[in-house]
Structures are given as structure tokens and as C-alpha cells.
Amino acid sequence: MSVRRLADDNVQPASFAFSKENATWAKATINKYPKGRQQSAVIPLLMRAQEQDGWVTKAAIEYVADMLDMAYIRVLEVATFYTQFQLLPVGTRAHVQVCGTTPCMLRGAEDLINVCKKRIHPEPFHLNESGTLSWEEVECQGACVNAPMIMIFKDSYEDLTPTQLEHIIDRFDAGKGSDVTPGTQVDRIYSAPAGGLTSLNEPEPAAKKTTTRAKKADEDSVSVPPSNAARAKTDAEETDPKLKTPATAKAEAAANTKAKGETRAEGGDASAKQPIAAAVGKPSLEDKNRPAGIERPATLDDLKLISGVGPKIEGTLHELGIFTFAQVAGWKKAEREWVDLYLNFKGRIERDDWVKQAKALAKGGEAEYIRVFGKKPR
């Protein structure tokens, strides 16, 4: 990463002032902090200055310092420390920050840097011909598990290939950066394993009924004296039943009884003996609670805008005939539970409130989503 300095004087504007709207916002932001702690607002104020003018000028640093009664050097230290602050004029449509720290470098960051050199400018911090794009190499952005990655303003784009980065640059250069969903660009949910879970992927066991025998075993196991239960057993004790203490033998018998109680269906019917886990699985496609599917429409809603839906889950929903936000928005509780079980989602549909998200997206797309949730989808 290059040394971070203020831009040359010949590009620095003579003065800075917040717009009326930003000045009101800044005042309210400063007032959020306790008396005497107003300096805590330095980062949000610098960020707002950058959003207003596109970069952080020397005049903006001094203006923010005056507002917060801070020494200029203190605000300069903050602005030069964080790579989120741009100290030079950058591309008006995108400033691409490529992480070049070791995990990203090992996973192909150099190829991404070469794309930036080819598509934007051979040197970092130089604008392309039309002034819309620029790039730089930065240190770890905290998304190493999805390396390699880039940041463009406040969003990260992860698990990138050079081809995907070219596509992202094209969209931003065309003023359509919002077409690209931030986050991982492969088949994974956030930083979960690519291609689906590799562990903890069995269905949750159904809530087991405690049989009388199992309950008794539980009580017996509690009665083992802690001193004996906690004592490490010798190898001989483990293998020779004659050497087991009465408490140890009793505890093991209780554990065996309990295990049997868990794996057998109640009633003693031999044909019903099966592990509970085997009895729980995907719900039947014929189940009455399966949400109704529709024919694949000519235009599909991008279900991936719903938090929790990645490319793989979207494909599964399509297989079920679910193609639109309106369909998801209309799911009843039993239908949500059916889909949750089908996706092995462990309640995530409720936790992420897919119905509320889908209602907002169906009503007014991304703008309505932002109005309802205060942030962009995904």
C-alpha cells in the first residue's frame, strides 16, 4: 500500500462547507455524543464530507476539525489512517480498492490488479480517460474467507475472478453499478462453504419424548457422585467390567438405557425401531403445505435480493415453481415452515423475515426495500 498523503495544493479547493442539508445532519450527529465527547463524530463527518465532494480535501479536514474543536493534525491522522477516505479526486462512478494482503494475494489478487491496470489505468490513483474510474491496492478489508475481493465505496465484492471484475467495472462505468449484488459472487451464503454446507447439515432431530425408562435413567445418572463421575477412568476400568466401580457401572447402564430410549419409537414395535434422524428429512413434495408453484414467467424477480437467498437457494426455489417476490410475500406460516424444512434452514426464513422483505421488493423494488429496512437489499 502506498503512503497516504494529502493531494497536491494545485488540486486542493480553497474552501469547504457542508451543504445546508449536510450541515443539519452533522449537527444532529454531533449531538448524539455525550457532552465533551463530540470528537467521536470525526469519522462520520469526514465520511459525509467525502460523500458530498467525492474525496476528502484539506479544507474539509480543517472544517471538520473546527466543528469538533480538534487540532487539525488529529483529524488529518484519522483521514490518512483509514483507506476508506480518499485523499485525491477519484473516479466519479467507481474507485476500485483491490485487497492485496496475503490471503487475497494467494487467491488471485494480482490478476484483479492486472484487470484494473488494463481497464482503468496502469497506475493506481490515476483516473481513466473519462474520469469515471480509478483504482488502488489496499490492505485487508476483513473478508479474507471470501478472497480475493474488492471494495467499491461502501460495498465489497468477493470471491472474484478477473472476468467477474471486468463485468463489475463495466456496470459501474455504465452508471449501473447497482445491477451488481455486493458480497460473494459464487454459490455460497455469506462466508458459508461454497456449494453448500459440509458439516452440521443433518436435519435437526425431532423433539424427543422422554419415556419413563429414559426419565428414570436420567435421574439415576444424576445420582452418580461427582467425585467418581469426574475422576478419570483407567484403561483397565474401561475394559474390565469387574474393575468398574458400582457408580461407574450404574452410570454406563443408565447411558445405554437412555441411548436406547432415544433410538426406538415408543410402544416397543420392532418394525418401528429406527433412528429418529432417519425419520426426519425433507418434507414431501406432495405435502399440502408446499407453497403453490407457477409456470416460469418470461421475466423473473431476482430472489437473491432477499437476504438468505443465494444462487443455489434461488435455483431450488425455481425448481419448486417459486419465481416472484409476490409468491414469497404471500406464504402462510405453514408454507414458510414447509420451505424452511425443505431447505434445511433451521428457522432462518422467520428470522430473516422473508415475507416482509418480499413484500417490500414486490411493492417498490430496491427503493421500497431501502425505505422499509434502511439499507440496500443483501
Instruction: Name the site residues for ligand FES (rule: CB under 6 A).
Output: 99, 101, 103-104, 140-144, 147, 149
CA distance 21 to 295: 48
- Does residue 94 contact residue 182 with C-beta atoms inside 8 Å? no
Nearer to ligand FES, 88 or 143 (CB): 143
Nearer to ligand FES, 72 or 82 (CB): 82
Nearer to ligand FES, 61 or 149 (CB): 149
CA distance 246 to 213: 20
- Does residue 289 contact residue 311 with C-beta atoms inside 8 Å? no
- Does residue 203 contact residue 178 with C-beta atoms inside 8 Å? no
Minimum CB separation from ligand FES for residue 188, in Å? 15
DSSP for 56-96? --HHHHHHHHHHHT--HHHHHHHHHH-TTS-SS---SSEEE
Minimum CB separation from ligand FES for residue 94, in Å? 18
Minimum CB separation from ligand FES for residue 110, in Å? 12
CA distance 362 to 328: 9
Nearer to ligand FES, 162 or 261 (CB): 162
Minimum CB separation from ligand FES for residue 171, in Å? 22
Minimum CB separation from ligand FES for residue 149, in Å? 5
Q: Which residues pair with 183 in a beta bridge?
A: 157
CA distance 125 to 57: 15
Nearer to ligand FES, 159 or 340 (CB): 159
